Every structure is written in structure tokens, then in C-alpha cells.
């Protein structure tokens, strides 16, 4: 019985070892050296930051014009990126272009009607424009999206309360 049990385990180990080879790329299994010595000297290539990533970095640096430029380029590459439209709206709002911000946020919300960030930021834009009622509509939408609460809801709720003088 001992031999039968461990014999089956050895067979299982062999099957698993063979199956794992299928997961290794063929190039990694190639033996021998390269025909060119230059291949060994080349550093590994790293991906250049995307327009979106550069836009996020510009937002973090509060460079609103650079952020807008990179987010617009990111949108040119992928016009279905709700996050890029949301960040474009944010950069526009922070630079004082509330109408441009509303347009960008609305596209983000058309692409993703439950985009929490876009609901929060468009609500903030409406508050900055003095339109508490529209901000409250987005607060109510966040309330329905964020079943157990979320940071976006809490942030906009506090901003609405402050705008109404009830904080």
C-alpha cells in the first residue's frame, strides 16, 4: 500500500511538472548562447509613461495646463476612458474653467454613469458655481452608488453642508 500511495504521488508530481512547462514561454526554454554578444549588453526596455500617467503626475504637481494637455492626448488615444475625462474636468475646474470642467465630467458620466469621482467633482464644480441644487443631485446619486458609504460621498456631503452653512 505504501508503494502504491507514493507511486501515485510520483506520477502526479511528474504530470504537474510537465504541465508547468506549458506555462513557460518557449524563448525562456531555449538553450545555448545568443549569436550576438550585443544582446547581453542591452538593458531591459521599460515602457514609457503613458499620456494618462503623465496627466496624473501633472495633476499631482498641480500643473493644470500640463494635466489638460496630457489628458486630452490620452482621450485622443482612447475616447472611452472615463477616468481621463474625469481628470480633464478636474484640471479644467482647478484652472477656473468651470464650463469646460462640466463638459468633461458629463462625458465621463455618459461613459460610466456610476463614476464616483466624476459625481463628486461635478458636484464640487456646481458648488463653486453657486448651484447647490445640482450638487445635491450628484450627492444623491453618490448615496445610491455607495451602498456602504464612500470617500467621494463623504467629501461632497461635507462640501454641500458647508455651502449651505450647516456644517
Instruction: Judge contact between 63 and 56, C-beta under 8 A.
Output: no
* The pLDDT of residue 40 is above 90: no
Tell me the C-alpha distance between 112 and 118, whole Å: 9
Answer with the residue of higher pLDDT: 148 or 75. Answer: 75
The pLDDT, as a whole number, for residue 44 is 57
Tell me the C-alpha distance between 108 and 82, whole Å: 4
Tell me the C-alpha distance between 61 and 113, whole Å: 28
The pLDDT, as a whole number, for residue 142 is 98
With a pLDDT cut of 90, the percent of the chain lying above it is 68
* The pLDDT of residue 1 is above 80: no
Mean pLDDT in residue range 95-109: 98
Tell me the C-alpha distance between 98 and 104, whole Å: 10
The pLDDT, as a whole number, for residue 136 is 98
The pLDDT, as a whole number, for residue 36 is 40
Q: What is the pLDDT of residues 6-25, one digit of tens each?
A: 444 445 444 344 444 344 44
DSSP state string for 82-118: HHHHHHHHHHHHHTT-HHHHHHHHHHHHHH-TT-HHH
Q: What are the residue ranges spanned by the domains of the chain?
A: 51-164
Mean pLDDT in residue range 105-131: 98
CATH class in words for 51-164: mainly alpha
Mean pLDDT in residue range 34-46: 50
Instruction: Judge contact between 159 and 135, C-beta under 8 A.
Output: yes
With a pLDDT cut of 70, the percent of the chain lying above it is 72
The pLDDT, as a whole number, for residue 42 is 54
Helix (H, G, I), strand (E, B) or coil at 78: coil
Amino acid at each position: 500500500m505504501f508503494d502504491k500511495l507514493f507511486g501515485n504521488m510520483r506520477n502526479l508530481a511528474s504530470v504537474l511538472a510537465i504541465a508547468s512547462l506549458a506555462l513557460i514561454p518557449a524563448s525562456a526554454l531555449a538553450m545555448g548562447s545568443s549569436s550576438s554578444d550585443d544582446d547581453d549588453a542591452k538593458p531591459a526596455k521599460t515602457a514609457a509613461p503613458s499620456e494618462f500617467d503623465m496627466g496624473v503626475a501633472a495633476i499631482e504637481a498641480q500643473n493644470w495646463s500640463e494635466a489638460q494637455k496630457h489628458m486630452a492626448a490620452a482621450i485622443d488615444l482612447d475616447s472611452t476612458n472615463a477616468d481621463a475625462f474625469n481628470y480633464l474636468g478636474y484640471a479644467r475646474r482647478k484652472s477656473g474653467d468651470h464650463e469646460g470642467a462640466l463638459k468633461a465630467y458629463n462625458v465621463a458620466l455618459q461613459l460610466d454613469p456610476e463614476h464616483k469621482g466624476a459625481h463628486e467633482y461635478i458636484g464640487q464644480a456646481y458648488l463653486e458655481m453657486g448651484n447647490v441644487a445640482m450638487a445635491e443631485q450628484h450627492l444623491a446619486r453618490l448615496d445610491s452608488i455607495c451602498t456602504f458609504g464612500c470617500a467621494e460621498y463623504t467629501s461632497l456631503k461635507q462640501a454641500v453642508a458647508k455651502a449651505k452653512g450647516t456644517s
